[in-house]
Amino acid sequence: MDKDKAAKRLDELREKINEHNYYYHVLDAPRISDTEFDQLMKELMELEERYPELITSDSPSVRIGSKPLTAFAEVEHTVPMLSLDNAFSEEDIAAFYRRLQKSLGIEQFEMVGELKIDGLAVSLYYEEGKFVRGATRGDGQRGEDITANLRTVWSLPLSLREKITAEVRGEVFMPRDGFVRLNKARQQEGLTFFANPRNAAAGSLRQLDPAVAAQRPLDFFAYTMINLSGDGSKSQWKILTNLKALGFKVNEHATLLNSLSDVLEYHQHISELRPQLSYDIDGVVFKVNELVCQEKAGYTSRAPRWAIAYKFMAEEGITRIRDIKVNVGRTGAITPLAELEPLLLSGSIIKRASLHNEDIIRGKDVMIGDTVVIHKAGEVIPEIIRVLPDKRSGREQLFIMPDQCPSCHKEVKRIPGEAALRCLNPACPAQAVERIIHFASRRGMDISGLGEALAAQLYHSGLVEDVGDLYALTLDKLAGLERMGEKSANNLLAALEQSKTNPLRRLLYALGIRFVGERTARLLAANFGSMSRLAAATYEEVIAIKDMGPQIAFSQQDFFQREETQIIIKKLKIAGVNFQEKREDVKESNLKGNRFVLTGTLQRYSREQAKEAIEQRGGQVLSSVSKNVDYLIAGEKAGSKLIKAKELGITVLKEEDLEKLLNG
């Protein structure tokens, strides 16, 4: 292909990819499968590699990350990014409303209610419809230039649907499920945890290496625009409408309000909705709708008088640390765990909280016996916020990290560049048990009935030394275990037999290769197709795959070269475990373009099996219910998601209905 034809094809590819990216990340309504999208990206990357002079600043290829920066440049905001005044009670909101009535000289006026996303505020500058610069809020007058990192956020448009020059402001955030996945991956790597999704989002955008930011699950909502082309909007509601038309993702829960009672009812509604959201919010923002009224209300030196943030009170609890123990993970990471006096918080009983590593313990000055304040980071993970030193009695004890592994009693070491202490003994019993648990997990080989207690019993009884031995279990061998009746034993053997048919990507994740999560396992399986090809792959072949860094390539090489790995692989092969990745063609799928949410307990499928079956047929499984969902699959004990689906008029199906859909 000559250069002119390449330039024309690149324009076509960029337009197609940007359009499909809009449907996937902004509208949550994909029009093509992931495989088809990946093929378009592959063709784009290959052409740009052949003709680097044809790469444009708005090419989708920039989303994978550019070269590392040495520092962030300073950016001066053309219009200051002011803070918002806060309200914490209905009385505060009523006083705010009365002040507006007085300053505007009218009794009633429209307001816009918007969710206060708990993320990082950013300013985006577009010239002739092209994204050219992005910055943090900073001190409101000056921020940091994080353009390279912002380009990696898929829901942030690099090209607008009109060629206007404008400044757009919004919030970059990390969804809760992405935050949990990120911290799990960091735990496997021996890295410190992010305290909450907001810190994770901010830390990701302030990475000097954009390739790191590109791997983080970031999202974006736009909430205001300054149109520098001259076509100004007359109201905040019109601004939100225009942002949608330009291709921005705007939060669907924004609404128009006509009175103080509407404002208070909206805050109550969002407060009740909050636990069902897939991202964190810390309040609701109320803005006067008409821009002429905003100008009349005016500003203080730090905040507009026409807007306010009605904050939620964070749910916290106070309890006491009974003890601090350490847990040995499957990669040998030694993690301190606070044993707490039980505390009811956000609807569940909290009995323990991870302290992550020694640096966290020292930084927060945590001692055994301390009274501490607890909350749930991201509404999910119990976290110790702070110690209450005035509650100390003098009987508290300093906790010292062990110098020996509590399981195998070998020396533990802190590897340079890592925060965690680590047991480096590959024969460590605790690691062996954790590897069995991980192998059998739902996202791994999904071996129903093989939980923590049974994994420990199988290992310590001598029946299972490594995961390869699981497939040599028999009814006679299991009969000698405590609390293992014939029915339970048969169920376990049936689950083991069923797991042999899992695709290669599940097996790779289950094997626990360091730095290889579900997405990486899927990429490795798709690119090599079989266990034998992957095991023989060179460092250069692995790193050549998009999104594969040196860390993963080195880890893959090390894993397959180990003698113990080769023994396990041989056992799995003899047992008849599937070593192939079946290439599914979903182009003619009957579920293509349909969006599903799963809730309740399913009987015929595990949650992971149902998700995989839907995705193999071109469907998409979402984590939360919204108007964009086509079907809710409701198992037993379905709760709030079922209620919301009915309110939105979403089709609700039982498990047997799902099976009919899967079978066409």
- The answer to whether 422 and 334 are in contact (CB under 8 A) is yes
Tokens 């607008």 belong to 160
What H or E segment, with its residue span, contains residue 127? strand 120-127
- The answer to whether 374 and 318 are in contact (CB under 8 A) is yes
CB burial of residue 87 (10 Å; 0-12, 13-18, 19+): buried
- The answer to whether 159 and 22 are in contact (CB under 8 A) is no
Q: How far apart are CA 616 and CA 613, in angstroms?
A: 5
- The answer to whether 58 and 130 are in contact (CB under 8 A) is yes
Between strands 371-377 and 381-387, the pairing is antiparallel
Read off the DSSP letter of residue 591.
T
Q: How far apart are CA 455 and CA 49, in angstroms?
A: 49
Q: How far apart are CA 104 and CA 294, in angstroms?
A: 9
Catalytic residue among 5, 67, 102, 116: 116
Output the CA–CA distances (angstroms, integers) from residue 381 to 176, 181, 386, 557, in the order listed: 10, 12, 15, 34
- The answer to whether 537 and 523 are in contact (CB under 8 A) is no
Q: How far apart are CA 116 and CA 177, in angstroms?
A: 19
Burial of 501-522, coded b for 16+ CB within 10 Å and e otherwise, reads ebbbbbbbbbbbbbbbbbebbb
Residue of 631, 624, 635 whose CA lies nearest to 596:
631
CA angle at 315 for the pair 314 and 317, rounded to the nearest 5°? 130
Q: How far apart are CA 243 and CA 167, in angstroms?
A: 11
- The answer to whether 134 and 122 are in contact (CB under 8 A) is yes
DSSP labels, 273-340: HGGGSSS-EEEEEEEESBHHHHHHH-B-SSSBTTEEEEEPPP-EEEEEEEEEEEEE-TT-EEEEEEEE
Read off the DSSP letter of residue 60.
G
- The answer to whether 155 and 249 are in contact (CB under 8 A) is yes
CB burial of residue 628 (10 Å; 0-12, 13-18, 19+): middle
Output the CA–CA distances (angstroms, integers) from residue 387 to 323, 361, 383, 480, in the order listed: 14, 10, 12, 48
For this structure, is 116 an active site residue?
Answer: yes
Number of C-beta neighbours around residue 248 at 10 A:
24
Q: How far apart are CA 593 and CA 597, in angstroms?
A: 14
List the catalytic residues: 116
